[in-house]
Amino acid sequence: MKEKTIGFVGVGRMGANMARRLKDQGYAVTMVYDRHRHLAESLAAELGCRVAPTLAELTAAAEVILTVVTDDAAMRAIFSPSGDSLLTGADGRLFLNCATISPQLHQEVAAACEKVGAAALEACMASSITQAREGTLYLMIGGKESDYLAVEPLLHDLSTALRYVGPTGKAAQVKALVNMVMNINTAGLAEGLGLGAALGLDLAMLKEIFSQTGANSRVLVTDGDDMIAREHDCFFSAAHAAKDSGIANALASEAGVKVPLSRATQAQYDSMVAHGLGELDKSAIAELTFPGRTTIEHSL
């Protein structure tokens, strides 16, 4: 049994698979929490651990707490300065915050943790559900290096690519840029394949040529076939793509940098969310570009 006891807040697709991975690696996953209680109950029954009635009780039950929540609002809620909060009784605890949220909020959470004697690290993930279960995540870590070294073995058990990026906030900046470029590439691939379909080209041939030329990208491997087959089971949702592009675009505004491609990509994902397609995989952006697939206006 690994020495550190583990708690999880947020056990959706990513969090649940990370918990399964650590359990398989011999860690004592003692307690789990999710605002959708049925998710926590299902995972707790599977792993043989307890469901946390409150956030404070989860903090009391674990030395290392991983948070995998949706957005800035959810993060603020679990680290609230009053009411039920992970900060209650958090002296000596270490929080690994894995959600893609704004760099500023990571800094605020780290400061709040330090104030009560706890530590916080960004553990930003550039991977998806399968990698979470297999322990092959790409992790970018931000925070105090001494805190990183204290949990480095655990982080290695979750990942095959582990990078310490620097102080709190820097990992979130890098993650925002990773997802910004990924989302642009996804939108570009959808347009290329969609135009190919409109021209009557053999899409398998077109995809092969893309893979051998400057049109190649990682998303060609992960999303190309799904775009063609209209298989959009969710690994990374369109709603999350919209959120993450928005974080990057806000950073660009702060830095005074023009990012027209990223803003156009966010507009497409925002349109998907507005039309009820936000819970589909990001590959479903192809529904905007392939001829005859959607009633969403193509004026983006």
What's the pLDDT at 9? Answer: 98
pLDDT in tens, 170-225: 999 999 999 999 999 999 999 999 999 999 999 999 999 999 999 999 999 999 99
pLDDT in tens, 268-295: 999 999 999 999 999 999 999 999 997 5
Work out the pLDDT band at 19, boundaries 50, 70, 90.
very high
pLDDT in tens, 225-248: 999 999 999 989 999 999 999 999
d(CA 96, CA 99): 9
pLDDT in tens, 65-76: 999 999 999 999
Rg, C-alpha atoms of the chain: 20
Largest CA distance in the chain: 63
Handedness of CA 293, 295, 298, 300 (dihedral sign): negative
Both tokens assigned to 40: 């926590």
Work out the pLDDT band at 64, boundaries 50, 70, 90.
very high
What's the pLDDT at 296? Answer: 59
d(CA 160, CA 131): 9
- φ/ψ of 89, rounded to 5, equals 65, 30
DSSP-assigned beta bridge partners for residue 118:
none
Both tokens assigned to 191: 């347009």
What is the pLDDT averaged over residues 70-99? 96
Work out the pLDDT band at 299, boundaries 50, 70, 90.
very low
Task: Using DSSP bridges, classify how beta strands 64-67 and 50-51 pair: parallel, antiparallel or unpaired.
Answer: unpaired
pLDDT in tens, 43-54: 999 999 999 999
For the chain, the domains span 5-167, 173-288
Distances, alpha carbon 64 to alpha carbons 4, 5, 22, 78, 257, in Å: 7, 6, 12, 15, 38
What's the pLDDT at 128? Answer: 83
What is the pLDDT averaged over residues 137-148? 97
One of 3.40.50.620, 3.10.20.30, 3.40.50.10440, 3.40.50.720 is the CATH number of 5-167, namely 3.40.50.720
d(CA 103, CA 147): 18
d(CA 149, CA 264): 40
DSSP-assigned beta bridge partners for residue 125:
139
**Tell me, what amino acid is at 217?**
S
Whole-number percent of the chain with pLDDT over 90: 92
Which of 134, 175, 140 is closest to 157 using CA atoms?
Answer: 134
CATH top class, domain 173-288: mainly alpha
Asked whether residue 91 carries a pLDDT value surpassing 70, the answer given is yes
What is the pLDDT averaged over residues 24-37? 97
pTM (predicted TM-score)? 0.89
What's the pLDDT at 127? Answer: 83
